[in-house]
Structure 1
Amino acid sequence: MSAPDLPGETPAEKYAPPPASGTAPDAAQDEATPTFAEAIGASLGSAARRAGIDPDAGLSTGAMVWKVIGGWRGILETALPLLAFIVTFTATKNLVLGLALSVGLAAVFTLIRLLMKSPPVAALSGLIAAVVAAGLPLFTGRAEDQFVIGFITNVAYGAAFLISALVRWPLIGVVVGFLTGEGLAWREDPHKRRTYFWLSVAWAALFLARLGVQLPFYFAGDVTTLGTVKLLMGIPFFALLLALTWIVARRLNPRQDTPPEEADPAS
C-alpha cells in the first residue's frame, strides 16, 4: 500500500496490531489517538448525518435533498424573510419596515419550530442570522448591506472547499469517508481522490460564483436585482449540486447489501 499524499495515518497504521510488550506506553497511546484529520472528518460526517445526509437511511436522491433543505418549511423559512424585505423595500424604500418584516417572519418561523419541539439551537439559528444581517444596514443606512453577511459566508465556505482541494484533503472526501465508514482510506485510491477533488472544486465554484454574480449589483446599489439573484442562486443551485455529489458518492461507495450492477440508476 502506498503512502498517503500528505502526512497522516494510513489504513495499515490505523489497523496495525497492538504494540509488543516492550513498546513504550507513550507510543502506544499516540497510536490510539485520532489524528487531526480524523477528528475533523468525524465531526463533519456527524454534522452531515444530522442534516439528513445518511447513506444508511436508504433514501433516494430526491428524498435526501428534500430532507436536507427541510422540505417546504425549509424553503419558506429561507425564502420568505428575504422576499419580504425585497418586496417591501422595492415598493416603499422604507429600510426599517423591510428589515422589520424580514426579522418578524424569521421570528414566526422560530416560534413554530420551538412549538414543534425542535432543538433550540436549530430553531434559533434562522432568527439569529436574520437579526445579524439586519444590524449592518440599520447602522449604515444602506439597504444593500443586508447582504454582506451572506457574502462573508460564501467567501468562508468557498475558500474552505477550494483550499482543502488544493492541499489534497478535499472536504467532500473527508465527509463522505466518515459517512460511509471508510475513514481516510479513500486517500489510497487515486480515482476517489480525483473525484473528491473535483467535487470540492465544484462546491467552491458555487460559493464563489454567487459572489461574482451578486457583488456587481451590490456595488451598484441595486437591491431588487441583488435579492432576486440571491434567491435564484440559493436553494436551487445548492440542491442541484448536493444531488450530483450524492449520486457520485454513491457510485464510488455502493452499499454493502446492494451489488454495484443492481444500484438504482435513477437515484
Structure 2
Amino acid sequence: MTGPADDPGDGPGDGSGDGQALTFDRHLVLEQLGGWRGMVDASLPTVAFIVANSIGDLRTAIWCALGAAVLVLLFRLVRRESLQQAFSGLFGVAVAVAIAAASGQARDYFVPGIIRNAVIGVVLLGSVPLRWPLVGVAAEFLAPSHLGSMAAHSLPGLRRRVDTARARLHHRPAPAVSGERPADPEPERHWREDRRVVRAYGWLTVMWALTFLLRVAVQTPLYLANEEELLGVASLALGLPVTAVALAVTLWVVARLHRHRVQTGATDT
C-alpha cells in the first residue's frame, strides 16, 4: 500500500485546551483495547494453572488460576485502572476451572478457549464475503479512517471524545466542556465504498480468523490425545505472541489506510 514516507504519529495528542491540533493515533487505540499489559494480564491465570498442574494436582492448579485472576483484578483496582478486562478475565477463568473441576481432568480447562477460538474464527471468516469485514467494523468504530486519525492528522472534532475516553480509562472526572466543539465531519463516502479499504480490511480479518483457527487446529489433537502439558504450552505459544504480531500488523495497515483515505479525499476536493 502506498503512502507518504513519514511515519504516523507516535504519541497520543495533547488533550489540553492550548489550541494545538489533536493527534489521535495508534497508541490511544491500543490503550482503549487494554494495552499490551492487558494481554499479559489475561495470560497470567493460564500460566499459573499450567505451572501448578505440572508440579501439583488439579485442585492446586484450579486455585492458582483463580488466585491469579483475582490478583490481576485487585492490582487494577488499587491502581484505579479499568476493571472491565479483569472482570471478563475472571469470569472466563471461573468457567474454565468449573469445567475442569466437574470432569476431574486438567485438559478440560482449555475447552472454553478452543470453542471460543473456533466460533470467533468462523464468524470472522464469514464476515469477509458479506463485505462487512469485522476488523474493519471495529477499526472504523475506534478511529474512522476518513478523519485520518491514525495518520496523525488534526482532529479538533475528536478532542472531547478522546478527553472523555482518557478520563474513563483512568477513572477521573470527565473534563469540563467550555462551549460547543465542532462535530466530527461526515465522510464523503462510506469506507465500504472504497475497494482498497474493504480489500485491506478483508485480508486483516482473514489474518485474525486464521490466528484463532490455528489455535483450534493445534490444540484439538492435543486435547484428544490427553497431552495436558503440551496443550498448555500450545495455549501460551499461540496466545500472546501471535496476538501481539497480528495486532502490530493490523495497526500498521490501518494507519496506511487512513493516509490513503485522507490523500484520496484531498484529491477529490
Whole-angstrom CA distance in 1 between matches of 2:44 and 2:195: 44
Partner of 1:85 in structure 2?
Answer: 49
- Is residue 124–residue 133 contact of structure 2 (8 Å, CA) maintained in 1? yes
| Equivalent AA in structure 1 for residue 53 of structure 2 | F
Measured in 2, the distance between the counterparts of 1:135 and 1:208 equals 24
How far off is 1:59 after superposition?
A: 4.4
* C-alpha distance after superposition, 1:161-214 (max 9, x if no partner): 111002221112222333215477122122222211111111111111110011
User: Does the CA-based 8 Å contact 1:114-1:123 persist in structure 2?
Assistant: no
Give the counterpart of 1:205 among 207, 210, 213: 210
Provide the residue aligned with 1:251 in structure 2. 256
Match of 1:107 in 2: 70
Matched, 1:239 2:244: yes
Q: 1:223: how far off?
A: 1.0
Which residue number in structure 2 is paired with residue 70 of structure 1?
Answer: 35
In percent, how many aligned pairs have the same letter?
A: 34
* 1:227 equivalenced with 2:190 (yes/no): no
Render the CA deviation track for 1:57-97: whole Å, top value 9, x for unaligned. 3346xx8658745344x3542233212211221223x1111
Structure 1 counterpart of 2:91, which letter? I
Task: Report the counterpart of residue 132 of structure 1 in structure 2.
Answer: 95
Q: Which residue of 2 aligns with 1:47?
A: none
Matching of residue 118 in structure 1 with residue 81 in structure 2: yes
- In structure 1, distance between residues paired with 2:26 and 2:140: 18
RMSD of equivalent CA atoms: 2.7
Aligned equivalents of 2:260, 2:195: Cα separation in 1: 20
Residue 180 of structure 1 aligns to which amino acid in structure 2?
P
Determine the structure 2 residue equivalent to 1:58: 25
Higher-RCO chain (CA-CA 8 Å, sequence separation at least 6): 2
Query: In the alignment, which of 152, 158, 172 is matched to residue 115 of structure 2?
Result: 152
Aligned-partner SS, 2:131? coil
Asked whether the 8 Å contact 1:210–1:230 carries over to 2, the reply is yes
Consecutive unaligned residues in structure 2, runs of 5 or more: 1-21, 147-186, 265-269
Instruction: Give the direction of change, closer, same or farther, for the CA distance of 1:191–1:119 in structure 2 (3 Å limit).
Output: closer
Match of 2:133 in 1: 170
SS class of match (1:78) = helix
Which of 184, 187, 208 is the matching residue for 2:192? 187
Could you tell me how far apart the structure 2 residues matched to 1:97 and 1:59 are? 40
Offset from partner CA, 1:75-124 (integer Å, 9 cap, x none): 542233212211221223x1111111111111111112222223444432
The 8 Å contact of residues 186 and 193 in structure 1, kept in 2 or not, is answered as yes
TM-score w.r.t. the length of structure 2 is 0.67
Unaligned 5+ residue runs, structure 1?
1-54, 261-267
Would you tell me which structure has more helix in proportion to its own residues? Answer: 1
TM-score, normalised via structure 1 length: 0.67
Amino acid at match of 1:58: D
User: Hey, what's the Cα distance between the residues in 2 that align with 1:202 and 1:147?
Assistant: 23
- 1:156 Cα offset (Å): 2.1
Instruction: Give the total of aligned pairs.
Output: 201
Deviation (angstroms), 1:254: 1.7
Letter aligned with residue 146 of structure 1: Y
Deviation of the 1:56 alpha carbon: 4.7
C-alpha separation between the residues in 2 aligned to 1:59 and 1:173? 15
Deviation of the 1:242 alpha carbon? 1.1
**Contact kept? 1:172, 1:199, Cα under 8 Å:** yes
**2: CA distance, partners of 1:89 / 1:123:** 23
1:227–1:67 Cα change, 3 Å? farther
